[in-house]
Structure 1
Amino acid sequence: MEAFVNAAHAWLAALLGPQVDWKQVLLIGMSPVFLLAFMLEFAVEKRRGRADKFHLKEIAANLALGGSYQIMEALAWVAATGGVFALVYRHRLFDIPVNGWTVLPIFVLVEFCYYWFHRCSHRVRWWWAAHVPHHSGQTMNFTTAMRQSLLNAFVGTFVFYLPPVLLGVPPAVVMFMLAVDLSYQYFVHTECVGKLPAWYEYIFDTPSNHRVHHGRNPQYIDKNYGGVLIIFDRLFGTYEPEVAPVDYGIPRQIRSYNFLVLNCHEFVDMLRDVLAPGPWRDRLRHLWMPPDWNRPGHERASTWATDECSPAAKRQTRNIS
């Protein structure tokens, strides 16, 4: 068995470089499981008379976004990201062993990093421009989890996972833990499951908790960022229970299933806002201010047609759940 594992690692290293991205390896390996789960979800919902919630064009867009994300993440790791992680690990502060005593704390640390990555991806427009495709879907099923952007490989979201590496956790372990985290999250993107036992809802992210995160209802915007755990949302004041029916989507809803539009519409609008005439300090603030921030006297760019949400939602929104 050990010889097989060593041979597999050597093959992956030859294919992906000396720093294997175990995040992508696990996620790609889980893809058949994900697709099987979706087929089961559809069968259950069809039996319940809710098959009309599965829209073929949106599902196709979800799969296209997920596939391109996987490819670009793998290429970025080989080209640059893996080298950055290796460099940081070379200057690590400690040597943290990976064993039965440390696995759980390491996972919680990676989840903590994920919480802040996710929160910043909603509150900083530069990162929101890469995260928005995940939220622009207007239905909720397992394939919604696949709505990821190829821009993730370019906007530097990997920096949120460097602290554990600097502390001394091997990059392969950090990436594997992140993959476990992301794999779990696939199964919270569904309307097939109602609320789970109260103790579980209190500690963990669940379909109910995550439906809130995808809502553009005023009370649901910028809530429930957790991946596997929901305790950091409770600690930092970003938790909201599911009470009202969820209105999925984004306040400035893009009306497109075009792969390139879904990937790039917010990034293009952000760059147009930066390049529009005005004081350069204000123009640059479009990069790091919240997505709904606008400088005085400037009309926000909207390259493609969007539908605005209700006036009440616009008053309370920070431009996405």
Structure 2
Amino acid sequence: MPHLPDVVLWSVPAFVLLTALELVSYRLHPDDQAEGYEAKDAATSIGMGLGSLAFDALWKIPIVALYTVLYELTPLRLPVLWWTLPLMLLAQDFFYYWSHRGHHVVRILWACHVVHHSSRNFNLTTALRQPWTSLTVWPFYVPMIALGVHPAAVAFCSSVNLVYQFWVHTERVGRLPRPFEYVLNTPSHHRVHHASQGGYLDRNFGGILIVWDRMFGSFVPEGERPVYGLTKNIDTYNPLRVATHEYAAIARDLKAARGWRERAGRIFRGPGWQPVSAAERADGPAASTAGVAEKVA
């Protein structure tokens, strides 16, 4: 297959320039309602991004090995051509949507992704606040490998998706013209995704395209001003705690769990799931909502 460029590496100068321009814009034109930049928070986001590069390099070893085995087993081959590459990008964006959605609704997956939502600010450095445990992402792209897409092509498409999403992490860009807002993931749509209000939770999962959210019922337009962060914020700038706090919370819940059914729920149900007690079950159907709690981290 032809050599594919490292789009993330080539985009680093643009990341730096755009972040500098956004920072200057807040200095020249402050926004009373937007947090803008806070030094410790931005430093944590950058530190999480740098750490993710190191850990991702580690996780790539078993993932690439597994993808390679699956690629050799499938009889299908999809060459990288001018007309197949857009189809690969479209497929990757589709599977990214389901990966992203899964990482919001399954707690053990949320433990990885919660890192990206842990900042109470929303600026371009927030895009760099990436998890250190991205080993949970690989299963969602197995269908692409099974269809004959080379692992390197899957990695390239994922990098393109990641680079695209950098610019949507800003409050300095308002709504775009309607055709763009209808098709693409934009800063307006992604502000909703990072908001912690109840009506905004678990919405707008798209990477490059927002059409998947429109198709599968997870789209919400931006209305009231978003409040960023988690429903229960962690109040720390320590990168290690940011990276592991939800795993620690899961471990505490497993230790206190009463039985294997509750343990399974603590891992595989939603992030805010709570077990229904015997007394609540005795109260009848009115207690059926007791096991659905607000998402916390």
User: Considering the TM-score relative to the shorter chain, is it more than 0.5?
Assistant: yes
**Can you list the C-alpha shifts for 1:169-214, whole angstroms capped at 9, x where unaligned?**
1111111011001100000000110000011000000000000000
Q: Which residue number corresponds to residue 120 of structure 1? A: 102
Deviation at 1:316, TM superposition (A): 7.7
CA contact (8 A) 1:72 1:150 kept: yes
Cα distance between partner residues in 2 of 1:190 and 1:142: 6
**Can you list the C-alpha shifts for 1:13-32, whole angstroms capped at 9, x where unaligned?**
xxxxxxxxx79x43234223
Q: Which residue number corresponds to residue 283 of structure 2? A: none
Cα distance between partner residues in 2 of 1:167 and 1:217: 39
**Can you list the C-alpha shifts for 1:28-76, whole angstroms capped at 9, x where unaligned?**
3422321221001111222212396210000000001000001110122
**Can you list the C-alpha shifts for 1:215-240, whole angstroms capped at 9, x where unaligned?**
01111100000000000000000000
Cα distance between partner residues in 1 of 2:255 and 2:296: 21
CA contact (8 A) 2:59 2:134 kept: no
What is the aligned residue count? 282
Distance 1:52-1:277 versus aligned 2 partners, 3 A rule:
closer
CA contact (8 A) 1:185 1:227 kept: yes
Q: Which residue number corresponds to residue 176 of structure 2? A: 196
Q: Which residue number corresponds to residue 19 of structure 2? A: 38
Deviation at 1:258, TM superposition (A): 0.8
2:131 to 149, 152, 165: 149
Unaligned runs of 5+ in 1: 1-5, 10-21, 299-314
Q: Normalization by structure 1: what TM-score?
A: 0.83
Q: Percent identity?
A: 36
Unaligned runs of 5+ in 2: 279-291
Letter matched to residue 84 of structure 1: L
Q: Which residue number corresponds to residue 276 of structure 1? A: 256
Q: Which residue number corresponds to residue 143 of structure 2? A: 163
CA contact (8 A) 1:28 1:70 kept: no
Q: Which residue number corresponds to residue 67 of structure 1? A: 50
Letter matched to residue 228 of structure 1: I
Cα distance between partner residues in 2 of 1:295 and 1:273: 11
SS for the counterpart of 1:194 is coil
Q: Normalization by structure 2: what TM-score?
A: 0.90
CA contact (8 A) 2:272 2:293 kept: no
Cα distance between partner residues in 2 of 1:28 and 1:92: 31
**Can you list the C-alpha shifts for 1:253-280, whole angstroms capped at 9, x where unaligned?**
1111111111111111112212224111
Deviation at 1:297, TM superposition (A): 4.8
Cα distance between partner residues in 1 of 2:75 and 2:139: 17
